[in-house]
Structures are given as C-alpha cells and as structure tokens.
Structure 1
Amino acid sequence: MIRFENVTKRFPDGTEALKDISLVLPTHQLTAIIGPSGCGKTTLMKMINKLEKPTEGSIYIDEKPINDMDEVQLRRSIGYVIQRIGLFPHMTISDNVALVPKLLEWSKEKKEERVRELLQLVGLDPGVYMERYPLELSGGQQQRVGVVRALAGDPNIVLMDEPFSALDPISREQLQDELRNLQQTINKTIVFVTHDMDEALKIADTIIVMRAGKVEQTGTPQQLIDNPANEFVQNFIGIERISQKRTFGERKLVEFLDIFTSDWSGEFERISAESTFEKAFATLDESDQDYLAIINNDQIVAYANERDLLKAALAKEMGVLT
C-alpha cells in the first residue's frame, strides 16, 4: 500500500504543484492518475520513488516512511516506465531488460532466465528478440521491452508515466489490452499516469482525478461513471460516456460476449446471457465477488468483472474502449 499524508509540493518559484494531499493507493491494483496538463499528476507519481520530494507531509510504502530511505535502493526496488521508452540504443534487448538484475548482482543464468520469461509474457520470442537492438523493433515492440524492463527486478511497485501516449492508436490499444492481461499474471501495484480518460476507464481498477494540485475524486471506473463528484469530474469524464453507459443499461450481455473473459475459472455468481447490463451490474455488486459467470444454453460461456461490463457498456458500436 502507498499512502500520502498531507503532502504539499512547492517549487522555488512559489508554484504549488500538490496541495495538502492525503491519499491511499491500493496494493496489487492498477491505479490511474488523470487530469488536465499541469494538474500535478506526474509530480504525485514521482513522489513515490523520490524523483520529487514533498515540501511538507510524508509518504509511506507498506506503512514505512520513504523520506529517510536511500534513494538508489528505493528506485531499484520500484519499476519505472516512461513515455519515450528510454531503451539504450547501443545495448541489445537482453541487456536492456537485464539492467536492474545486473545492478542487483544476479547471476548470468538467473538474468537470462528472467529476460526470457518476461519477453515471452509480452509475446516477444526470446530466440528472435534477445540479441536485437532497439532500433530494429517497432515502437510498440520497444514499449513492450520498456514495460518488461521495469519488471525485471521483480518490484512490488511499477510506475508508468504516460507510457503509450506516443504510439499509434492500434499499437496503443493492443498494449492497453496486454497490460491488463499482464497484470492478471504479475499482480503488481501499478501507478499509471495518463491524460486519456478512455485509457483510464479501460485499464484501471482505481482512478484518481486531479485538478490544480488537488484530488477531485477517487473511485472505480464504474463509480466515476455513475456518481461523478462534481461538475469538473463529470465534464472530464464526458457527458457522452455517462449517457452511453446509461443507454446500454438495457442492452443484453449476449450481444457482447466477445468482449468478456473466456479463459477464467472459479465459483462465481451466475447470470444469464439474456440479462441486461443493469441487472449484471447490480448482481455483481450484491455478490461481493470479482466476476460473474455468464450462462448461455446452460453452459458458462464467459466471465465478466466490473471493468469488462463497463467496457462493453461504453458503446462498442461507437468505437469507445474496444
């Protein structure tokens, strides 16, 4: 768990980037921080690995204050993915991914095994890509390498600063999907800065909406859609997204089975594919479970969590979040 306690950041020119923020970022979840340019979202994220330091207040990781922690050791324990990827062009993909394990003095065998494991996780064949150089890869492939490099030392926390914003729309959408699938496997605490509300709604477990150095609202994607805290949050989400979600409440799950998860398992509350989204949201909320099992012709055909339902409800036909 990451906790901010009365954190203020004041720059030498007097600008207050963060104003008395108290906040908890949940463990093993993907938290998206979003807001307009200059709202303080990147500053907030950089506080976690001490790239920025608070003027006032304290930050805790697992209830341990980071103020007195060694910066180098802290940063080696936290993964970091930046917008411009930051791969070293003169180093092979293998060497790029193994940077932190090398600093941690892992054995050659352990480093190579970790590189192979991570490249396979993001669909890059180790036999093909380990000895290539960054400029031999596409932008999307380079960003995949950037993501797994941040995971190489097996950190509990990964910071991602608008990592997909420079990519073309197709590559960006693919990486968003891959990040969600990857998170189900690695189960890390991910803090993801973005300026794109569609991206935040698609990938996040929790969303923090910021404005002018303050937090306007924190909640799940569904909570923000259903109950925006004020006019700013409502306008930032977009009236069209809110109205689309409400319109799709009467649509049936069976129309969107291709969006839902098919390779899950477990004992979950069952619901007919002929049920409406409105009923599905209510059933999931009442069940206190992560997923619903969707039944069609007496067979489980898919599983859906809150994010899956929201993604489908936000108008597949209009090209939103698909």
Structure 2
Amino acid sequence: MIRFENVTKRFQDGTEALKDISLVLPTHELTAIIGPSGCGKTTLMKMINKLEKPTAGSIFIDENPINGMDEVQLRRSIGYVIQRIGLFPHMTISDNVALVPKLLEWPKAKKEERVRELLELVGLDPAIYMDRYPLELSGGQQQRVGVVRALAGDPNIVLMDEPFSALDPISREQLQDELRNLQQTINKTIVFVTHDMDEALKIADSIIVMRDGQVEQTGTPQQLIDNPANEFVRNFIGVKRISQKRTFGEKRLMEFLSLFTTDWKGDTKKISAESTIEEAFFQLDESNQDHLAIIQDDQIVAYANARDLLKAALAKETGVLA
C-alpha cells in the first residue's frame, strides 16, 4: 500500500504542484492518475521513488515512511517505465532487461533465467530477441522490453509515466490489453500516469482525477462514470462517453468472451452468453458478488466482473471486437 499524508510540493518559483494531498493507493491494483497537463499527476507519481521530494507531508510504503530511505536502494526496488522507453541502444535486449538484477548482483544463471521468463511473458521469443539491439525492434516491441525491464528485479511497485502515448494507435491498444493480462499474472501495485481517459477507463482498477495540484475524485472506472464528483470530472470524462457507457444497447456477452477471465474460484451467479452487457451489469449488481459466470451450451465459458464488462463496452465503441 502507498499512502500520501498531507503532501504539498512547492517549487522555487512559488508554483504549488501539489496541494495538501492525502491518498491511499491500493496494493496489487493498477491505479491510473489522470488530469490535464500541469495538474501535478507526474509529480505525484515521482514522489513515490523520490525523484521529487515533498515540501511538506509524508509518503509511506507499507506504512514505512520513505523520507529516510536511501534513494538508490528505494529506486532499485521500484520498477519505472517512461514514455520514451529509455533503452540503452548500445546494449542488447538481454543486457537492458538484466540491468537492475545486475545492480542487485544476481548470479549470472538467475539473471538469464529471469530475462527469458519475462520476454516470454510479453510474447518476445528469447531465442530471437535476447541478442538483438533496441533499434532492431519496432516501437511496440521496444516498449514491451521497457515494461519487462521494470519488472526484472521483481519489484512490488511499478511506476509507468505515459508509457504508451508515443505509440501508434494499434500498438497502443495492443499494449493496453497486454498490460491488463500481464497484471493478472504478476499482481503488482502499478501506478500509471496518463492523459487519455479512454486508456484509464480500459486498464485501471481505480482512477485518480487531478486538477491544479489537487485530487478531484478517486474511484473505480464505473464509479466515476456513474457518479462524477463535479462538473470538472463530468466534462473531463465526457458527457458522450458517460452516456455511451451507461447505455449498452444490444451488445451481447458472446461477442467479448476473449476479454473475460476463465479462472475464478469464488461464488458466482450464472448468466447466458446471449445476454446483453446491460443485463449483465444489472445481474451483477443484484448478486452482490464479484463475478458472473457466463454460460454457453450449458457450460461455463468465462467469468466477468464490473471492470471486464466496462472494458467490453469500450472495445465495442472503439470498433474492436473480441
């Protein structure tokens, strides 16, 4: 858990980038921080690994204050993915990914095993890509390497600063999907800065909306859509987007089975794959359970929670079918 307690950041020219912020970022969830340019979202994220330091207030990781922590050790324990990827062009993909394990003095065999494991995790064949150099990869492939490099030291926390914003729309959408799938495997605490509301709604478990150094609202994607805290949040999400997410029409679950999980052990209520997303939302609310079991040909073919249903609605609206 990451906790901000009355954090203020004031620069030398008197600008207040953050104003008395108190927040809790949930463990093992992907939290998106979003807002207009200059709202303080990147400054807030950089507080976590001490790239920025508060003028006032405290930051805690698992209730341990980071103020007195060694900066180098703290940063090595936190993954960091930046917009411009930041791979070293003179180093192979293997050496780029193994950078933090090398600093942590892992044995050679352990480093190589970790590199292979992570490349396979994002669909890059180690036999093909380990000995290549960054400029031999596409932008999307380079960003995949940037993501797994941040995971190489097995950190509990990963910071991502608009990592997909420089990519073309197709690569960006693919990496958004891969990040969600990857998170189900790695189960990290991810803090993801973005200026794209569609991206935040699609990938996040929870969202922090900021303006002028202050937090306007926090909540799940569905909570923000259903109950915007004020006119700024409503306008930032977009009235059309809110209307679209609330009115699912005849979009049916069977179209989106590939977006849902097939692994769930808890109690569920069953619903037909021919049901609409709107019906599924209603049934999920009525059930007071986390997931619905989707039935097709008398068999459970998938499980969906509220975030999955919202993702399905977004995929349909942007023309991406499962």
Q: Assess same fold via TM > 0.5.
A: yes
Q: Residue 153 of structure 2: SS of its match in structure 1?
A: coil
Matches within 5 A, 1:172-321: 172-248=172-248, 250-254=249-253, 256-261=255-260, 263-267=262-266, 268-314=268-314, 316-319=316-319
- TM-score, normalized by length of structure 2? 0.95
Q: Which amino acid aligns with 2:199?
A: E
Q: Which amino acid aligns with 1:146?
A: G
Matches within 5 A, 1:1-322: 1-248=1-248, 250-254=249-253, 256-261=255-260, 263-267=262-266, 268-314=268-314, 316-319=316-319
Q: How far is 1:18 from its partner?
A: 0.3
> Can you give the 5+ residue segments of structure 2 that lack an aligned partner in the other structure?
none
Q: Deviations over 1:167-220 (max 9, x none)?
A: 001110010000000000000000000000010000000000000000000000
Q: How far is 1:259 from its partner?
A: 4.9
Q: How far is 1:317 from its partner?
A: 4.6
Cα RMSD after superposing both structures: 1.7
Asked if the contact 1:259–1:312 (Cα under 8 Å) also holds between the matched residues in 2, the reply is no
Q: Identical aligned pairs, as a percentage?
A: 85
**Partners of 1:255 and 1:117 in 2: CA distance:** 33
Asked if the contact 1:89–1:135 (Cα under 8 Å) also holds between the matched residues in 2, the reply is yes
Q: How far is 1:299 from its partner?
A: 1.8
Q: Deviations over 1:217-243 (max 9, x none)?
A: 000000011111111101111111111
Q: How far is 1:53 from its partner?
A: 0.4
Q: Deviations over 1:229-269 (max 9, x none)?
A: 11110111111111112221x43534533453253343422
Q: Which amino acid aligns with 1:277?
A: I
- TM-score, normalized by length of structure 1? 0.95
**Partners of 1:47 and 1:321 in 2: CA distance:** 39
Q: Deviations over 1:301-320 (max 9, x none)?
A: 32212122112233715537
Q: Which amino acid aligns with 2:102?
A: K
Q: Residue 207 of structure 1: SS of its match in structure 2?
A: strand
Q: Which amino acid aligns with 2:213?
A: G
Asked if the contact 2:270–2:293 (Cα under 8 Å) also holds between the matched residues in 1, the reply is yes
**Partners of 1:317 and 1:150 in 2: CA distance:** 32
Asked if the contact 1:260–1:303 (Cα under 8 Å) also holds between the matched residues in 2, the reply is no
Query: How many residues end up aligned between the 2 structures?
Result: 321
Q: Residue 314 of structure 1: SS of its match in structure 2?
A: helix
Asked if the contact 1:257–1:302 (Cα under 8 Å) also holds between the matched residues in 2, the reply is no
Q: Which amino acid aligns with 1:98?
A: A
Asked if the contact 1:241–1:314 (Cα under 8 Å) also holds between the matched residues in 2, the reply is no
Asked if the contact 2:91–2:133 (Cα under 8 Å) also holds between the matched residues in 1, the reply is yes
